[in-house]
Structure 1
Amino acid sequence: MTDEKKGTIHRYVPAVHPFRLFCTILVTIFLLTGIIVLIVYLVYRPSKPHFTITGATVFQLSNSSTQPNALSTSMQFTLVSHNPNERSSILYDHLSAYVSYRNQPITPPADLPPLLQDRASSVAMSPVLGGGFVPVSGDVASGLLTDQAYGVVNLRVVLMGRLRYRSGPFRSGWYNMYVRCDILVGIRKGVTGPVPLINEPECNVDT
């Protein structure tokens, strides 16, 4: 609207509704917060740890002479965990490990202590797994004799537990962890001590 009585022009700006202004400010705050959260997530986003087995020692791996379809196993593995995160440390808890052969456990689960792994670091664990006799199927018992006669045994080392990431002031929730390491080990019946790894074991990590 204009007023030209005295040669001047007046412009009237419509008033801004307070509720609309409040909504605009609120949406702007939410957008800025979302952008900041996304940037922080991309900067501190953690990656899963990597595991591999670098050594194995056999103390005992044999069929029971007194119990049918039972194995007596005692082995030690060097399991190396690598944290690829440059900004996040990893806390492991409720860890346990066991050995399986042909999808059947041949050692009882062994509890391992909690572990705090620094950023971009590697940590080695060397648990001794086994002790006592573990019942197995007839196929597993006979299969072990066949593989030992051939000189190569396919084993799986399983590590279970939970982990959480710590990035500066931020901490994630707990994630369940399941690690499977399939290895080919040079083992013959009655031979004990350090044994060669036929393959280069890469472990699958599910979290």
Structure 2
Amino acid sequence: MTDRKFKRGATVCTCIFVFLLLAGVTALIVWLVYRSHKPQFTVLGAAIYDLNTTASPMLMSTTMQFTVVTRNPNKRTSIYYDRLSAYISYRNQAITPPTILPPLFHERHSTVTLSPMLGGAMVPVSMDVVNGLVMDEACGVVPLRLVLLGRLKWKAGVFTSVHYGVYIKCDMFVGLKKGFVGQVPLLGSPDCSVDI
């Protein structure tokens, strides 16, 4: 009687082990086939329509537009973005209020162009920002950072991931002299870093 119980227990354990092994191998194969790669972002153009400061109180009014190309490198996975917002920073300080962007669906292995208009409201800034902008405009080169924040999720076939936070940072140098408005040259073709 004891031998039968032992054999039955050994058979059940073996079946469970084989089931878990097959489930693990299946999960590994699905992960290898559908694993997701980060999206890629590049800034292609910039236009500055307003960039003014006031001394007392220290406020900055900014209106800028950037052309950003985003590429989904995944051949089997689409990307959904939601709760996206964008702002511009200068010397690690935001100089535009966050602008809410519409949700974006990014098909598999495709490219999408965004051209958000940012700014329009006065933003309090530090003396370092005001003085730095005066010096950089005198030199004709202004360093800016475009920041995109939001959430994304991947969809591969019937599988949809949970939401992940996404932080996109595009550091660039623009050629800008005081008083100039319109399309400004980008010095180089800045790629952006993407943190998920």
CA separation in 2, counterparts of 1:100 and 1:199? 19
1:19 Cα shift? 1.4
1:199 Cα shift? 2.0
Per the alignment, in what secondary structure is the counterpart of residue 33 of structure 2?
A: helix
Q: Which amino acid aligns with 2:54?
A: S
Q: Which one of the candidate residues 89, 99, 107 is aligned to 2:88?
A: 99
CA separation in 2, counterparts of 1:186 and 1:111? 27
Render the CA deviation track for 1:50-75: whole Å, top value 9, x for unaligned: 1110000111112126x432111000
1:32 Cα shift? 0.6
| Matching of residues 5-84 of structure 1 within 5 Å | 17-64=7-54, 67-84=56-73
Q: 2:111 matched to which residue of 1?
A: 122
Q: Which one of the candidate residues 158, 163, 171 is aligned to 1:174?
A: 163
CA separation in 2, counterparts of 1:21 and 1:138? 76
Per the alignment, in what secondary structure is the counterpart of residue 23 of structure 2?
A: helix
Q: 2:121 matched to which residue of 1?
A: 132
Higher Rg of the two aligned structures = 1
The structure with the largest helix share of the pair is: 2
Q: 1:200 matched to which residue of 2?
A: 189
CA separation in 1, counterparts of 2:36 and 2:164? 12
Per the alignment, in what secondary structure is the counterpart of residue 162 of structure 2?
A: coil
Per the alignment, in what secondary structure is the counterpart of residue 184 of structure 1?
A: strand
CA separation in 1, counterparts of 2:116 and 2:7? 70
Q: Which amino acid aligns with 1:90?
A: I
Q: Which amino acid aligns with 1:114?
A: P
CA separation in 1, counterparts of 2:146 and 2:182? 18
Per the alignment, in what secondary structure is the counterpart of residue 143 of structure 2?
A: strand
Q: 1:8 matched to which residue of 2?
A: none
How many residue pairs get aligned? The number is 193
TM-score w.r.t. the length of structure 1 is: 0.90
1:83 Cα shift? 0.4
Per the alignment, in what secondary structure is the counterpart of residue 186 of structure 2?
A: coil
The question of whether the paired residues in 2 share the 8 Å contact of 1:58 and 1:76 is answered with: yes
Per the alignment, in what secondary structure is the counterpart of residue 24 of structure 2?
A: helix
Q: Percent identity?
A: 51
User: Unaligned 5+ residue runs, structure 1?
Assistant: 1-13
Q: 1:162 and 2:151 equivalent? A: yes
Q: Which amino acid aligns with 2:85?
A: S
Q: Which amino acid aligns with 1:188?
A: K
The question of whether the paired residues in 2 share the 8 Å contact of 1:64 and 1:133 is answered with: no
1:110 Cα shift? 0.2
